[in-house]
């Protein structure tokens, strides 16, 4: 009787636990205020070592800025009589000390600058040789990796370096139903050290995080929930048991065949 009396309480506890929402994002958001405080709107990444920078310079006087750009590539397409011309962006690899070698201006320390800061810096130097130069800088190899419980894990490359944690997860096909929304970990290299930050995507505080916008070579890992881990463990155990059973059957079969041969 005591056991029967306790059953409703047990069912209530199980029901409460199972009703917890672990799938929805930003569960603390309300309709009272539709403005998210603390979201940085003018974020720019800083240039760092191993970045491949595409730098183009233009001016009203093409001859004056020709030395700052690679010459156009000319080629003859198969089956055509006319020669095609393709402009090529000058690319510069930032070395381990944060420098690039730029024509005329020499060796420049660019690590720590944003794209716009570097463009203005180059513009000031080039202005000594050309009138009103226009400088454009882009990071050509900006990429992040997404692992774990997402629908399309892998490396994501973009030409626009303004990418948030939500952008990356969206491009990875969103979290699977087994992904832990409150255990999304970001791994980052900062000043030669490995750092990490755990996001809780069930809270809108993710928008206020200084890690909300990603940097070059960030790695995002989505942890599997308990059910997914248990299923994986069970599958591995089952596979091991099948392997052992197959081995035992093979050994018994061989021994049986030998015994039959000896008897004959």
83-117 burial code (b ≥16 CB/10 A, e <16) = eeeeeeeeebebeeebbbebeebeebebbebebee
pLDDT score of 129: 94
pLDDT score of 174: 96
Residue 145, classified by CB atoms within 10 Å of its CB into exposed (0-12), middle (13-18) or buried (19+), is: middle
pLDDT score of 119: 97
| CB proximity list for 202: less than 8 A, separation 6 or greater | 21, 22, 24, 25, 26, 27, 28, 181, 182
Residue 214, classified by CB atoms within 10 Å of its CB into exposed (0-12), middle (13-18) or buried (19+), is: buried
pLDDT score of 43: 87
Instruction: Answer yes or no: are the C-beta atoms of 73 and 89 closer than 8 Å.
Output: no
pLDDT score of 210: 92
Mean pLDDT by groups of 10 residues along the chain of 264 residues = 46 46 82 70 89 93 88 57 56 95 96 96 96 94 96 92 93 96 95 92 93 95 85 55 68 75 71
């Amino acid at each position: 009787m005591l056991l029967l009396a306790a059953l409703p309480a047990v069912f209530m506890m199980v029901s409460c636990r199972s009703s917890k929402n672990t799938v929805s994002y930003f569960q603390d958001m309300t309709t009272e205020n539709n403005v998210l405080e603390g979201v940085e709107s003018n974020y720019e990444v800083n240039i760092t070592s191993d970045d491949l920078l595409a730098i183009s310079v233009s001016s009203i006087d093409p001859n004056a800025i020709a030395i700052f750009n690679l010459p156009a590539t000319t080629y003859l397409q198969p089956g055509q009589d006319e020669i095609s011309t393709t402009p090529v962006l000058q690319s510069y690899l930032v070395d381990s000390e944060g420098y690039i070698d730029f024509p005329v201006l020499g060796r420049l320390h660019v690590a720590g600058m944003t794209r716009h800061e570097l463009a203005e810096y180059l513009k000031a130097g080039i202005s000594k040789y050309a009138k009103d130069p226009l400088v454009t800088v882009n990071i050509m190899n900006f990429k992040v990796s997404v692992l774990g419980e997402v629908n399309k894990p892998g490396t994501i490359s973009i030409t626009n370096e303004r990418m948030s944690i939500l952008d990356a997860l969206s491009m990875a096909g969103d979290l699977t139903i087994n992904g832990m929304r409150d255990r999304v970990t970001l791994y980052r290299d900062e000043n030669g050290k490995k750092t990490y930050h755990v996001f809780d995507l069930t809270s809108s505080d993710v928008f206020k995080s200084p890690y909300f916008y990603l940097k070059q070579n960030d790695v995002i890992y989505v942890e599997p929930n308990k059910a997914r881990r248990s299923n994986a463990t069970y599958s591995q155990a089952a596979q091991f048991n099948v392997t052992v059973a197959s081995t035992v059957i093979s050994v018994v079969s061989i021994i049986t065949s030998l015994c039959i041969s000896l008897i004959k």
